[in-house]
Amino acid sequence: MRKNIFPLCIPVLLFALSGPAIAGANTAQLNCTGSHAGQTLTLVGDIPASIVEVDLKLSYRGQTIGLVSPQAETSESTDFRHGIFKLEAALSGSNKLQLQAKPKSIKYKGSMGSGRLKASFGAVLKSAPEPFKSALKGAELSCVYAYEV
């Protein structure tokens, strides 16, 4: 039986992986939640690992905004072994979401090459899209990441 370290987390599919892929075969799940100024903060969405599309939802204080393809473009950098996890979803200009793991907080087991990877880490919102831009800059989230072919 697997223990859920972060029981308040919401499942999120959140990565585009490069390389040959079979549609629907590769998916990463990212469960992130946090609290900022006494309010619950969640980042929820999905990106099939074999297609560069995004459908993210950022919720805070009863409001939810979406970052959806083709209006939003995403990029990510993931190398848990070297303490790297960065995600950016840009709408236009400076209206974007940037999530970055705290490198020393990353704990992981497995590898993408083996088809199974699990990681947990603390992350910081480096920037958030409007209307949360000024309110959520620097907000912290607890995340659990799971990838399995």
CATH second-level architecture of 27-148?
Beta Barrel (2.40)
Q: How would residue 2 be classed by pLDDT, with cut points 50, 70 and 90?
A: very low
Nearest-Å Rg of the Cα atoms of the chain is 15
CA gap 131, 114 in Å, rounded = 40
More confident call, 120 vs 75: 120
Q: Is 59 exposed, middle or buried (0-12, 13-18, 19+ CB in 10 A)?
A: middle
How is 45-81 classified by DSSP, letter by letter? Answer: EE--TTS---EEEEEETTEEEEEETTTSEEEEEEEGG
What pLDDT digit, counting tens, does each position of 10-55 carry?
333 333 333 333 334 456 777 899 998 899 999 877 654 545 566 7
Domain boundaries, the chain: 27-148
Whole-prediction pTM: 0.75
**What pLDDT does residue 56 have?**
78
Q: What are phi and psi of 53, to 5 degrees?
A: -130, 155
What pLDDT digit, counting tens, does each position of 117-141 carry?
899 999 999 999 988 988 999 999 9
**What pLDDT does residue 77 have?**
84
**What pLDDT does residue 93 have?**
73
